[in-house]
Every structure is written in structure tokens, then in C-alpha cells.
Amino acid sequence: MVAAHQDFVLSEGPIVPFASGRSIIYGLAAGEWLDQRVLVAVAGVAAISDREQSPQDAALAAAVNAALAPPAGARIHWTRLANITVRRVGDAIFITSRPAPKLSITRCDDLRDFQLIFGTTPDDGTLLGPAVRAFFANGGRRCWVATVRRPSLEDASELPRVRQDMVGLEGSSELEATGLERLLLIPEVTVVDAPDLYARRVDRTITTYPLPPSEREACFHPCPLPPKGTVTPLPAGQFLLEIGIR
């Protein structure tokens, strides 16, 4: 496991701005050797958006090896975690992250499996974590989580990409398949749920409702005594109650 990072630097040195409508992909990889762990990023080559290519595995392996600096012949372990796309549209820069194919599908036999892979569920309005918790709390035995990147709603080109990631391309290989297409390759998957499609925003307003009366209050009680007044007998045993109001 790699420690959490904040303000992680994708690249250093002079910034070479690329033109509007072009993108560049950074490959993010984690490596381990003995008790050393590193997180590295390697840049691809800027190209027209939708045609950009992520850096090759060989480039990521070389960067991890250089960061760990093991002795010659030592075997290191590394994996690509994500591909981070930096896209320019006019004067705006959009940054999105997509899990690497190895993380596009995750088997969880209990809630602990989910938390080990994805971490503690953040209270940010997303519903995947609560849905997985509810699945296991109600007797679920195993679930498979297919992840897609979170889109930037201000980037018009992101929504179609995320829809494609969620549905997947028909006939894709197990390594390249994403979303629903990847789940189709698992015979034991019988029910599919997409919790974060339920709502774009969760209303966390606390509303208080009065509880129903307790059992004691629901019982019969003696009626209060009638107000004082003058009782006037009527025929056939009827009575008239005259109340004086002061």
C-alpha cells in the first residue's frame, strides 16, 4: 500500500503549454522494493484530444526503478494505478483520472475488501460506498465493483467519455473491457446496480418528525368534570345544562 499523497506533482521544470483542443496523459504508478515504496508519474506526448496515448509500461517501469534505485539484478514490484488526462479547452485546463485496466474491476467478499481497495468512504455525496455497505449488511456474499472516472461536469467532452466507459465497447477483451461490458465477462454477476446514477446531489438536511404517542398516552383516560352550571330537568328524563360565562 502506498501512503496517501496531497498536491502530488505530475511534472517539474518549465511548463510547455499545448494548444486548445489537445491533451496529454500522465501514467501514475506505484512501486515497491523491500520496505521502500514510491509513487511516480510519467508523461505521454500531447496530441489532439481523443487521440492522446498513455505512456508505455516500459517507461513507467524505468521511472519506478530509477526512484527506488535497487541494486543490479534486484526484482521490484510495480503497478500502474491510473491514467491522468490533462486537457486544454480555450484558456481552461481540465484534469481527469481514470483507473488503470487492472483496477477497473474489483472483487469484494466483504466490506473490508472494499475499504482496503478504495479506502474509507468519503462523505462527498457519492453513493457507491453506502451501497456496498448496505449490500453486505443485508446478507450479500460477494460483489464486483467496476469503476469509471468521475467526470468534470464543466468539460463538455467528458460526459460522452464517461458514458462509454460505463457501458463499455461490445466485444472488448478482458483487459480492455470497462463498465457493464466488463461485468458481462463474469458469469456469477446476476444483478447490476449503479448507485451514483440515482442523484447528482444528496440532500443532507436534517428533518425532525414528532414520535407517535406512547402506549400510556394511547390508553383511555377519565374525562374531566363538566363545568359548573344549572341543571334544568326536561320531560322524559332529559336534562339541560346552563353554563354561565363571566
Digit-coded pLDDT (tens) for 49-68: 878 888 888 889 899 999 99
Count the Cβ atoms, other than its own, within 10 Å of residue 69: 10
User: What is the pLDDT at residue 128?
Assistant: 86
Contact 168, 179 (CB under 8 A): yes
Q: Which helix (H) or strand (E) holds 116?
A: helix 111-118
> CA–CA separation, 130 vs 158, rounded Å?
25
| 15 pLDDT higher than 70 | no
User: What is the pLDDT at residue 246?
Assistant: 42
Count the Cβ atoms, other than its own, within 10 Å of residue 199: 10
Contact 195, 129 (CB under 8 A): no
Band (110; pLDDT cuts 50, 70, 90)? very high
- Return the higher-pLDDT residue of 237 and 246: 237
**Amino acid at the residue 131:** A
Q: Is 129 in a helix, a strand, or coil?
A: helix
Band (137; pLDDT cuts 50, 70, 90)? very high
pTM of the model: 0.50
| 245 pLDDT higher than 70 | no
Q: Which residues contact 165 (CB under 8 A, 6 or more apart)?
A: 98, 148, 149, 178, 179
> CA–CA separation, 48 vs 128, rounded Å?
33
- Return the higher-pLDDT residue of 169 and 143: 143
With CA atoms as reference, report the closest residue to 136 among 105, 110, 167. 110
Mean pLDDT of the chain: 78
With CA atoms as reference, report the closest residue to 140 among 115, 111, 118, 114. 111
Contact 22, 92 (CB under 8 A): no
The proportion of the chain whose per-residue pLDDT surpasses 70, expressed as a percent, equals 74
**How far is it between the farthest Cα atoms of the chain?**
120
